[in-house]
């Protein structure tokens, strides 16, 4: 019995030591290691508080790093499940490398200097997150709608940031939510109506635009209703009506003619309408919904490689280390703009030349968009009044585009300064110069390259140091090849005349709204509502020089430019004409505007002729 007892104790002690050894010396998950490395690499640590070392990759070592907590899963594997990096003074964008921490349930990044948008694909990055605290940072933009897909969330703290827009309606569908706060932001609209959760007004405090729930009741106008419902109803109505018309007319008239030009079948017209709406829907999804990250198929990757090889002969391919160096490792201090697709940085080359570098988010879904914009801008290089692409980088899953730097920003910021900023004076001759430059750029697009922009606004009109206007943001553009075949990147197939009528005339209408914005100084949304008064003003040239106070920017009145303002109003009214076929071409618009400035200031537009 004594012998058996000793044997039992030896076996027990050996087993205990073996299990302790496994826990002590087992390696941490490769995913968790990659997560921590990416997180440390992507964030600036000016206070040197993120003292993580990866010399020892055992679980026992990594799980003792400051802010890191681990747990054992059912297979006795040690996994990282909590990150608490509170009040460390960290700087940078939301660390997308967090997606590698696939067992993460708690993430607390509060009390730092993180900035930029909360990622649209937050539900993909934090699939099992129970507690998310991003409070007391400088996150901006809208709360992504996909936050409602992080279904395990119990606690969501977004207070004390710079968030704008409305709180996503779907957030009420979070089944486990217990704590929620968005106080001290710049949010607007109705607050969520949680079914089994009472949220106090303190959670919404200091958001002057919020209403409903524990706050003041929302004031709705009867004629307004949900935009998404209205859009869906309208699109459904148009498609169903068009389909009915198609069935009826196809039997009676197999074709219709457009102003004596090439015949267009009704069926082709309906298909083009549906394709145009699908294109708009895809663009909205890119801007509003979480991008669906997916790995490129081998065939797709091979095709991208072949296209990149061709492009290298046309434009400079830059080294990632070089771009990282000139942007100071993509420092926050170099950020000049942020969007749904990526972040824009200012950089300066050794010869003093400034660059604007757009770094796309780390998501393979954006590969197609990167390739399209790259190929489009390469095709448009050396064109007038279009932003110039100077180089690109595709390396280590990083996608970057380098543009000429536009020191005077965009037209929108000049016309509509942010709250608290002084209004910047823009004289009338400068406004005419900007409008003429935009018209010239669009004339090149339409008549030289047969490209439509489809997203013209004052925000995409950039101004260089001489206030020369340049068109940017080609993510929604569409083009035909010179031989009329469909472009393989942004596929568009259809009748050429209808293409001109539908797409080009849409660009011209948008340009007209920008011109009205230049004349009135009003916000684009206000211009869109009031532009019908201009559309119906078919005799503007016969009007007196006394303008209605609401119509003209007050800083322009009485400066001796009344006649020119009337001329530009006439051009704008033609561009926003309710019937597309009545709108002029951009070449006609450019020639009209050119007559308003000195002859020696009018740039030649080259050998461009009407294509309609």
Spatial separation of the C-alpha atoms in residues 148 and 503, rounded to whole Å = 36
Residue 460, φ and ψ in degrees, nearest 5: -100, 5
Q: 596: which 2 tokens?
A: 């308003």
Q: 207: which 2 tokens?
A: 């958001």
Stretch 68-97: mean pLDDT = 82
Whether pLDDT at 486 is above 80: no
Q: Which of 213-227, 262-276, 381-395 has the lowest mean pLDDT?
A: 262-276
Q: pTM score, two decimals?
A: 0.55
% of the chain surpassing 90 pLDDT: 23
Stretch 186-203: mean pLDDT = 87
Spatial separation of the C-alpha atoms in residues 317 and 231, rounded to whole Å = 42
pLDDT at 544: 36
pLDDT at 85: 93
Is 41:92 a contact under the CB 8 Å cutoff?
no
pLDDT at 194: 86
pLDDT at 499: 52
N- to C-terminal Cα separation, the chain: 105
For residues 266-284, b (16+ Cβ closer than 10 Å) or e, as one string?
bebbbbbbebbeebeeeee
Of residues 292 and 326, more confidently modeled:
326
Q: Which of 161-170, 254-263, 350-359, 543-552 has the lowest mean pLDDT?
A: 254-263
- Give CA 485 to chain center in angstroms: 29
- Among 26-40, 354-368, 409-423, the range of highest mean pLDDT: 409-423
264 DSSP β-pair partners: 256
Among the listed residues 408, 421, 412, the one whose alpha carbon sits nearest the alpha carbon of residue 525 = 412
Whether pLDDT at 424 is above 60: yes
DSSP state of 121: T
Whether pLDDT at 72 is above 80: no
Of residues 376 and 340, more confidently modeled:
376
- Give CA 365 to chain center in angstroms: 14
Q: Which residues are CB-contacts of 459 (< 8 A; sequence separation ≥ 6)? A: 410, 411, 412, 473
188 DSSP β-pair partners: 166, 209
Q: What integer best gives the mean pLDDT of the chain?
A: 75
Spatial separation of the C-alpha atoms in residues 88 and 45, rounded to whole Å = 8
Among the listed residues 93, 94, 86, the one whose alpha carbon sits nearest the alpha carbon of residue 111 = 86
pLDDT at 28: 62
DSSP state of 332: G
Stretch 398-412: mean pLDDT = 91
Whether pLDDT at 483 is above 70: no
pLDDT at 508: 93
pLDDT at 532: 42
Q: Which of 213-222, 270-279, 283-292, 402-411 has the lowest mean pLDDT?
A: 283-292
Q: 96: which 2 tokens?
A: 């997308």
**Long-range contact set of residues 17-24: C-beta below 8 Å, sequence gap at least 24:** 22/76, 23/59, 23/60, 23/78, 24/58, 24/60
Residue 114, φ and ψ in degrees, nearest 5: -80, 145
What sign results for the dihedral spanned by CA atoms 172, 174, 179, 185?
negative
Spatial separation of the C-alpha atoms in residues 406 and 487, rounded to whole Å = 30
Q: Which of 67-71, 234-238, 487-491, 608-612 has the lowest mean pLDDT?
A: 487-491
Distances in Å between the Cα of 548 and the Cα atoms of 265, 519, 544, 552 are 46, 12, 10, 7
Spatial separation of the C-alpha atoms in residues 122 and 162, rounded to whole Å = 18
Distances in Å between the Cα of 418 and the Cα atoms of 103, 166, 173, 414, 415 are 42, 19, 34, 9, 10
Mark residue 551 as left, alpha or beta (left: phi above 0; alpha: psi -120 to 50; beta: remaining): alpha
Catalytically active residues are: 455
Spatial separation of the C-alpha atoms in residues 137 and 160, rounded to whole Å = 7
Judge residue 222's burial from the number of C-beta atoms within 10 Å of its C-beta, 0-12 exposed, 13-18 middle, 19 or more buried: exposed
């Amino acid at each position: 019995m004594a012998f058996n007892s000793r044997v039992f104790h030896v076996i027990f002690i050996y087993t205990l030591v073996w299990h302790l050894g496994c826990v002590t010396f087992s390696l941490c998950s490769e995913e968790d290691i990659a997560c921590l490395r990416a997180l440390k690499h992507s964030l600036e640590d000016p206070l040197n508080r993120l003292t993580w070392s990866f010399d020892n990759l055992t679980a026992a070592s990594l799980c003792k790093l400051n802010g890191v907590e681990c747990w054992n899963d059912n297979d006795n594997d040690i996994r990282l499940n909590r990150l608490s990096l509170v009040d460390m003074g960290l700087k940078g964008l939301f660390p997308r490398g967090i997606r590698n921490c696939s067992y993460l349930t708690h993430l607390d990044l509060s009390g730092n200097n993180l900035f930029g948008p909360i990622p649209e694909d937050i539900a993909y990055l934090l699939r099992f997150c129970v507690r998310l605290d991003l409070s007391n940072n400088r996150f901006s933009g809208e709360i992504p709608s996909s936050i409602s897909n992080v279904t395990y969330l119990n606690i969501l703290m977004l207070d004390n940031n710079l968030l704008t827009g409305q709180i996503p309606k779907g957030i009420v569908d979070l089944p486990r939510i217990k704590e929620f706060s968005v106080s001290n932001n710049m949010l607007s609209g109705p607050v969520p109506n949680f079914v089994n959760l009472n949220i106090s007004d303190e959670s919404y405090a200091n958001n002057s635009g919020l209403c409903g729930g524990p706050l003041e009741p929302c004031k709705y106008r009867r004629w307004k209703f949900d935009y998404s419902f209205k859009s869906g109803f309208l699109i459904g109505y148009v498609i169903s009506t068009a389909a009915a018309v198609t069935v009826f007319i196809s039997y009676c008239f197999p074709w219709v003619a457009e102003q004596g030009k090439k015949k267009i079948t009704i069926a082709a017209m309906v298909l083009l309408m549906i394709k145009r709406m699908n294109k708009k829907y895809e663009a909205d999804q890119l801007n509003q919904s979480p991008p669906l990250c997916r790995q490129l198929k081998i065939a797709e990757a091979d095709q991208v490689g072949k296209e990149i090889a061709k492009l290298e002969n046309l434009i400079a391919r830059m080294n990632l280390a070089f771009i990282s160096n000139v942007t100071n490792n993509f420092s926050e201090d170099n950020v000049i703009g942020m969007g749904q697709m990526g972040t824009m940085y200012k950089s300066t080359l050794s010869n003093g030349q400034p660059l604007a570098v757009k770094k796309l988010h780390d998501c393979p879904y954006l590969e197609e968009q990167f390739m399209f914009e790259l190929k489009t801008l390469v095709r448009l290089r050396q064109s007038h009044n279009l932003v110039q692409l100077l180089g690109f980088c595709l390396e280590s899953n990083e996608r970057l585009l380098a543009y000429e730097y536009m020191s005077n920003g965009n037209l929108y910021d000049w016309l509509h300064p942010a709250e608290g900023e002084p209004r910047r004076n823009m004289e009338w001759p400068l406004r005419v110069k900007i409008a003429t430059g935009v018209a010239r750029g669009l004339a090149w697009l339409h008549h030289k390259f047969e490209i439509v922009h489809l997203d013209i606004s004052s925000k995409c009109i950039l101004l260089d140091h001489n206030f020369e206007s340049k068109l940017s943001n080609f993510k929604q553009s569409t083009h035909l090849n010179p031989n009329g075949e469909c472009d393989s990147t942004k596929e568009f197939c259809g009748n050429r005349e209808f293409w001109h009528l539908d797409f080009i005339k849409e660009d011209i209408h948008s340009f007209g709204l920008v011109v009205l914005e230049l004349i009135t100084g009003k916000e684009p949304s206000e211009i869109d509502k009031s532009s019908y008064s201009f559309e119906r003003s078919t005799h503007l040239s016969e009007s007196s020089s006394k303008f209605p106070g609401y119509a003209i920017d007050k800083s322009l009145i009485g400066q001796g430019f009344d006649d020119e303002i009337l001329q530009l109003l006439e051009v704008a009214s033609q561009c926003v004409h309710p019937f597309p076929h009545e709108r002029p071409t951009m070449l006609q618009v450019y020639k009209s505007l050119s007559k308003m400035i000195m002859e020696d200031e009018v740039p030649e537009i080259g050998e461009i002729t009407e294509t309609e």
